[in-house]
Amino acid sequence: MQDEILKFDLVEKEEVCGPVIKVMGVGGCGCNIIHDMVEAGIAGAELVSVNTDLKSLNSRMAHEKIQIGKKLTKGLGSGSKPEVGEKAAEEDREALEQQLEGTDLLFIAAGLGGGTGSGAGPVIADIARSMNILTVAVVITPFKREMEKSQKKIIVDEALKKLTEKVNNVIVISNDKVIENCENMRCSEAYREANKVLISFVNGLIGMVAKIGVQNIDFEDINTTLRERGKTFIGIGRAGGTDRAQKALASALNNPFIGEVKLAGAKHVLINFIGDIITKELSIVDELRKLTGDKASIKYGVVEDLSLGDEIEIVILVSGITEAIEIEVVNNAIDRFQKMELLAKQLVERDYENVDIPTFERYPN
C-alpha cells in the first residue's frame, strides 16, 4: 500500500518538460507589438509588456505587465530619454529577473530612438545574458530623415550597439521600409504591417520549437544556430499551387521589409516545412545549399498541418553569414598581399643580381 502511495505521488509531481519561451515588449513600440501578438493568438510563448508609461501599459493587451521606474518616473514615461529608461529598468531589476527566471529563449521587442525601449532594452538584455538565456532582439528603427543631424541617431546607434553586445542576435527593420512598401496605407495600418513582419519572425521561430512534427527541429538546434557569431537571417514564405515549394522559398528569401540578403558562407541553416508536405518538395533544401555553399550545416523539420489546405509554409533560419564572408574576404586579401610581396621581392632580387647592367638595358621596353 505504501509503495502504491509513493508511486501515485511521483506521478502527481511529474512536470511537463519543454523550452520556456518569452517575448518581452519594451516601451511604447514594444508594447504595441505584444498587443498585436495577443490579438493574433500567438501560442507557445508568454507575452510580457514592460513600460515606464502606466497609461500606455494599461491600454495594451499582454499576458503579463511590468511597470518599471515607479519611483523615478511616477508612471509618466521616460520623456524620450534613454538614460531615464535605463535607470527605470535598474530600479526594478529584481522584478525583471524574477520574470525571466527559468526562461530558455527570450525575444526583446522594442522601437529604438525613444527613452524606454532604447534605455531599458539593453538592461533587460544584460539581465538575460547574466542568466545565460538565449536572447534575440527584434527592433524597429526610425526613418532616416528623423535621424539626420539629430540626437535620435545617437540614441539609436548607442542602443543598437549595447543590444548587439549583449544579445545573441538582432533583427532590425527600418521605418523607411514601411514607406517603401506601405506608402498608400494609413500610418496606423503601415506601422502594423511592420509589426506583423517581426511577429511572423518570432512566431516562426516559436513554431520551430513548439510544434511537434513528422521530423522535428529541437531547441538545441535553435540554440546552436542563434548562438553562432555573425549575421542572422530569418525568412518565412507561404505559397500554393504548382511549384509551391519553390514559390514559398522565393517568398521567404525576398521579404520586402528586410531587403536583399546574401547567404553565401553561412554556417548553420534550419528549414521548417509546414503543411501537407510531399516528399519531393524537400528537394528545395538542395536549392538553398547552392545559395549558402557546401560548408553550411543544414537541418530540416516537417510539421503536418492540414489546415493550410493547398498552401505550404517554409520557415528559414540562417546564421554565421557575415563572419564567414569576412573571413573569406580577409583570406583573399592576405593571399593577394602575399603574392604582391613575392613579386616585389623577385623584382628587387633580379635588380640586385643585375646591378651592373643599366636600368634601360634591364627593362628595354
If asked whether residues 187 and 272 sit together in one domain, one would say no
- Are residues 309 and 204 both part of a single domain? no
- CATH code at position 78: 3.40.50.1440
> Do 185 and 73 fall within a single domain?
yes
pLDDT for the residue numbered 328: 45
User: Considering the domain boundaries, does residue 337 fall inside one?
Assistant: no
Mean per-residue pLDDT over the chain, rounded: 84
pLDDT at residue 137, rounded to an integer:
94
Rounded average pLDDT over 245-274 = 88
- The pLDDT score that the predictor gives to residue 344 is 57
Q: Residue 305: which domain range?
A: 230-322
Could you tell me if 235 and 134 lie in one domain?
no
Across 213-227, 244-258, 290-304, 327-341, least confident range: 327-341
Q: Looking at 176, 210, 244, which one is the last position of a domain?
A: 210
Provide the pLDDT for residue 335: 56
Q: In sequence order, what DSSP letters do the residues of 87-154 get, joined into one string?
A: HHHHHTHHHHHHHHTT-SEEEEEEESSSSHHHHHHHHHHHHHHHTT-EEEEEEEE--HHHHTTSHHHH
Instruction: Summarize pLDDT for 67-107 with one digit per residue, the tens.
Output: 999 999 999 999 999 999 999 999 999 999 999 999 999 99
- Is the pLDDT confidence value at 302 over 80? yes
Q: 75 and 196 in one domain?
A: yes
296 and 161 together in one domain: no
Q: Is residue 361 very low, low, confident or very high in pLDDT (cuts 50, 70, 90)?
A: low
Same domain, 110 and 150: yes
Position 173 in a domain: yes
Query: What is the C-alpha to C-alpha distance for residues 200 and 234, in angstroms, rounded to an integer?
Result: 10
- The reply to whether 250 and 166 lie within a common domain is no
Residue 339 lies in a domain: no
Question: Looking at the domain assignment, is residue 52 inside a domain?
Answer: yes
- The domain total for the chain is 2
Which CATH number goes with the domain that contains 309? 3.30.1330.20
Is residue 54, in this structure, part of any structural domain at all?
A: yes
The 10s digit of each residue's pLDDT in 100-140 is: 999 999 999 999 999 999 999 999 999 999 999 999 999 99
Span 51-66, mean pLDDT?
A: 96
65 in the same domain as 125: yes
> Confidence class of residue 346 from pLDDT cuts 50, 70 and 90?
low
List, in order, residues 6 or more apart from 5 with CB less than 8 Å away: none
Confirm whether 166 is domain-assigned: yes
Same domain for 237 and 190: no
d(CA 230, CA 17): 31
Binning pLDDT at 50, 70 and 90, where does residue 324 land? very low
Task: Based on the fold, state whether residues 163 and 302 are members of the same structural domain.
Answer: no
Contact residues for 146 (Cβ-Cβ < 8 A; gap 6+):
113, 152, 175
d(CA 325, CA 355): 45
Question: For 285-292, what is the mean pLDDT?
Answer: 89
pLDDT bracket for residue 327 (50, 70, 90): very low
Number of alpha helices (DSSP H) and beta strands (DSSP E) in the chain: 16, 10
pLDDT in tens, 173-191: 888 888 788 888 888 888 8
Q: Is residue 87 part of a domain?
A: yes
Q: What pLDDT shows up at residue 13?
A: 44
345 found inside a domain: no
Residues 61 and 202 in one domain: yes
Model confidence at 4, pLDDT cuts 50, 70, 90, reads very low
Contact 137, 167 (CB under 8 A): yes
Q: What is the mean pLDDT of residues 328-353?
A: 53
